[in-house]
Structure 1
């Protein structure tokens, strides 16, 4: 029992250290990496509950540290409101579906994101379509978040296509991920998959997550972020393939 507990805590610490490191280098990826790694050894719903507090803390920090907190909130609130609706509804799938099949959905989400990000197509959203497209993107992002615990698709490509400058984009991603984290916690709580006694474990991994972010920021100053990002995306793709293949073997 002790050895099993020791392995579990070691796995949690190493997972969130790695996830924080990726976020420190690239500005994103903590929930994606944590969900992908933890879902190898536990049901995705349990993995999602573990990432609530570290994801919330790191993303609120990223959002509030930007240059235009209120302006982005006014511009993006329809998308954020739709993310909440989609996530709370979609969380039922994460909780009720067999873990093998919810893991398959997570694997597909990782593969789609890694493939898109590796190609990095240049997209641009005209200002005239933003008022009606934002809620649709938010609803789809919420449904994917609720079903898989991954926040990135299609929110990240959409925000990248809005023509925001570098600092505004990082802040907008922080806002989107913060809202997704809160909505996912609410959805898991409503469907009985998030208990108050899990808050202690979730809070415990804040330290390795922040340590990883600090280390990642140091690494970012010494290596090519582009090359690191390529290795990171290839890793996500391989992780996605493992999760996708699991129900069939």
Structure 2
């Protein structure tokens, strides 16, 4: 762990910057880069505190949290159930390869012009299904963007409401993942200590990213972000 201390700090600064600019991506970037030097389970344990802290900040940044909870509750409860269900897959050892595949799919989706729209009458059954699928992937990979983020984008929420909805979804996913890790004995003192320490570079990156958001062209950054995830996903999928 000590051998990777500087690398971990740099990873969370970068991941925090991505989140500051885009409103998402901290767990995705962190898991992708940490997964290059450690098992996904250990990387997920380090991710818990910085992910939870930055997502709570994002969730509380605007009013309307209770309304968002009421609308997204079926999906969020599905996330909790799916995470518990996916915990049974921890023993399989395929987490790194699955994470690579998930990153590739997410990157291709982000680079495409494909648009998905969810109608109001579909939310009652599609939300729980998306939540369960997201929970399973969260348990196996430590990343909770798929398929939750495409689903939230398909709800056609106003920009700031979408950012808050993602913060709420990521917060619930992080808490569910933390419970699962503790239940599997993966919350070791060294990992817990590193997770608390990682919040500092993550917050630094978040502050830098928030400032950069006003200066960068969103379309250019988005394409660079997804292209990077695609390369990381291919590397991890082939090497996993």
| Structure 1 length-normalised TM | 0.93
Contact 1:44–1:148 (Cα < 8 Å) also in 2: yes
1:146 alignment partner in structure 2: 139
Paired with 2:86 and 2:180, the residues of 1 have a C-alpha distance of: 8
How many Å separate the matches in 1 of 2:102 and 2:182? 23
By how many angstroms is 1:34 displaced? 0.3
Render the CA deviation track for 1:10-38: whole Å, top value 9, x for unaligned: 01100000000111111100000000000
Offset of 1:196 from its aligned partner? 4.6
Matched, 1:61 2:31: no
Q: Residue in 1 aligned with 2:106? A: 113
CA contact (8 A) 2:42 2:191 kept: no
Cα RMSD, aligned residues only: 1.2
Moved more, 196-205 or 20-29: 196-205
What does the per-residue CA deviation read over 1:177-225, in whole Å, with 9 as the maximum and x for residues that have no partner? 0000000111111122223553221010111001101111111111202
Unaligned runs of 5+ in 1: none
Alpha-carbon distance in 2 for matches of 1:209, 1:130:
33
Structure 2 counterpart of 1:52: 48
Instruction: Give yes or no for the alignment of 1:213 onto 2:223.
Output: no
Specify the alignment match of 1:236 in structure 2. Answer: 229
- 1:25-40 matches, within 5 Å, as 25-40=21-36
Counterpart Cα distance in 1 of 2:86 and 2:186: 13
Match of 2:156, SS state, is coil
TM-score normalised according to structure 2 size? 0.96
- Structure 2 unmatched runs, 5+: none
Q: Give distance in 2, aligned partners of 1:176 and 1:201.
A: 24
Instruction: Identify the residue that residue 158 of structure 2 maps to in structure 1.
Output: 165
- 1:188 corresponds, among 181, 188, 193, to 181
1:104 correspondence with 2:97? yes
